[in-house]
Structure 1
Amino acid sequence: MNDKSAASVGDNEPAVDTGQGSLAQYVYAQLRQEIRSRQLASGDRLREVDIAERLAVSRTPVREALKRLEAEGVVRFAPPRGFVVVQLSAKQVMELYAMRKVLVGAAARFAAEQASPIEILSMQQVLSQLEKAKTPDEVAGLNRRLHEIIVAAAHNEYLYKSANVLVDALNLLGTTTYSMPGRIKAGLKENKEIVACIARHDADGAERAAQAHVGAATELRLQMLFGGTGT
């Protein structure tokens, strides 16, 4: 496996290939990126004809791309509106965070066993950027980048693919937990501990630190869902 970040998979596929498969991949990548960047938000309608016109393709690759996103749980077919970006229920959010805890922990463990010096240096460079970041969205973006590097450094193809799907689902949540008071400082401390464990090849410590990081985020997400803070 190479060192591509989880967010980059498929995002730069060309549209010039006349094959329907390549065009469907192009549309899929474009729509997924728009969901990740929140250009498309939960509940937004995805009309085949509009997407086809906007991306200069026929409706067939659009339909194929939407079916693929539906299979990944990112969009759903909701008659009579058609396809819409998924809105997660509170139960689904908790299930998502439970899976995130497992995957992030496993990624940190494998990275501690497999990461190269360059990969560790990349993690440390992102930590340096996190120390200077101020806004919740900026911190959230760098936090995603750090964990993409950790996932890539795990060198496990199946973990990599699973993490990709998880990132897409997390982006359906909208407001980041880094908007909560004190989270930026606490999250930085947690991420430093994860990277420190990976750097010294402490697999047990890296897994524990990563799971604690997600556990803290889960508690904040619960507050945002049920405590009247955030949306």
Structure 2
Amino acid sequence: MSDTKPQTDAYSLILDAIDVGIYRPGDRLVESELAERFGVSRTPVREALQRLETQSMLARDGRSLIVASLDHNQLAELYVVRAELEGLAARLAARHATAEEVRVLRSMVEDDRKLLNDPEAMSRANRRFHKQIHLASHNRYLVQQLDLVHRSMALLATTSIAAEGRPDETVAEHAAIVEAIAAGDGDAAYKALKDHISRAFETRLKLDSMHPQRSAL
């Protein structure tokens, strides 16, 4: 096993594994197991784990490192920031999105309609949709901040899209966001996306109230 791979490789590999749910809140991360899984030496893995701990993606459980989880207050704070930044991205997208970007967003909404019975696939498609809006804002600094927010979203053990009725609502809300962007109506796009995030947050709070053990991960 070589030490030539940069630390950022190990960091990105671990972060991606958390993002897609290979490692979930509460899971213990073992340096040697990660090195073997990703085919890198233990030194860059150790450095990556230290970096992720500094960023609060990992937490200490005794001598072990585990994937962090968000308590109620952290969750509320995250959604406040997410709603404002996402709303701003939609407002800027209404101003700057190209015709091609609008067509891509519309096609994403249509593709979502085929995933209504697959919450996991719908959740992945949802992340791609929001990322496309971020890019359509044409503001690199906003995109960077939203990347940080969505990295923290990976610390949620479940997806709110899995809630009964939520997939259909999500598609309708996405469609409203896209049409506001297509119309160049920044205020409407901002409101539509903020309302979308608010409904997602409300759904998550309901899920957590019915399954409080999820919040204790």
The two structures have a TM-score, normalised by structure 2, of 0.90
Q: Which runs of 4+ in 1 moved over 6 A?
A: none
Q: CA RMSD in A?
A: 2.0
Q: Is the 8 A contact 2:3 2:41 kept in 1?
A: no
Q: Percent identity?
A: 34
Cα deviation, 1:39-63, whole Å, max 9, x if unaligned, reads 0111111122222233333322112
Find 2:23's aligned residue among 25, 40, 47.
40
**Distance verdict in 2 for CA 1:69–1:229, change over 3 Å:** closer
Cα deviation, 1:161-218, whole Å, max 9, x if unaligned, reads 1111222221221221112122111111111110001111111110000000001111
Is it true that 1:90 corresponds to 2:72 in the alignment? yes
Aligned equivalent of 2:14: 31
1:140-151 → structure 2 map (5 Å cutoff): 140-151=123-134
Matches of 2:85 and 2:130, distance apart in 1: 11
**Distance verdict in 2 for CA 1:71–1:111, change over 3 Å:** farther
Q: Is the 8 A contact 1:75 1:84 kept in 2?
A: yes
SS in 2 for 1:96: helix
Matches of 1:131 and 1:56, distance apart in 2: 38
Residue identity opposite 1:62 in structure 2: V
Matches of 1:191 and 1:178, distance apart in 2: 13
Residue identity opposite 1:210 in structure 2: L
Matches of 1:222 and 1:121, distance apart in 2: 33
SS in 2 for 1:87: coil
Q: Is the 8 A contact 2:83 2:194 kept in 1?
A: yes
Aligned equivalent of 2:198: 215
Q: Is the 8 A contact 1:90 1:225 kept in 2?
A: no
SS in 2 for 1:201: coil
SS in 2 for 1:38: coil
Is it true that 1:117 corresponds to 2:99 in the alignment? yes
Aligned equivalent of 1:162: 145
Aligned equivalent of 1:105: 87
Aligned equivalent of 2:114: 132
Aligned equivalent of 1:13: none
Q: Which moved more, 1:104-113 or 1:135-144?
A: 135-144
- For residue 17 of structure 1, report the CA deviation from its aligned partner: 8.9
Matches of 1:200 and 1:26, distance apart in 2: 41
SS in 1 for 2:40: coil
Structure 1's unaligned 5+ residue stretches are 1-15
Matches of 1:136 and 1:147, distance apart in 2: 16
**Distance verdict in 2 for CA 1:113–1:47, change over 3 Å:** same
Structure 2's unaligned 5+ residue stretches are none
Residue identity opposite 1:100 in structure 2: R
Matches of 2:213 and 2:26, distance apart in 1: 18
Aligned equivalent of 2:35: 52
**Distance verdict in 2 for CA 1:119–1:54, change over 3 Å:** same
- For residue 228 of structure 1, report the CA deviation from its aligned partner: 4.4
Q: Is the 8 A contact 2:3 2:43 kept in 1?
A: no
SS in 2 for 1:172: coil
The two structures have a TM-score, normalised by structure 1, of 0.85
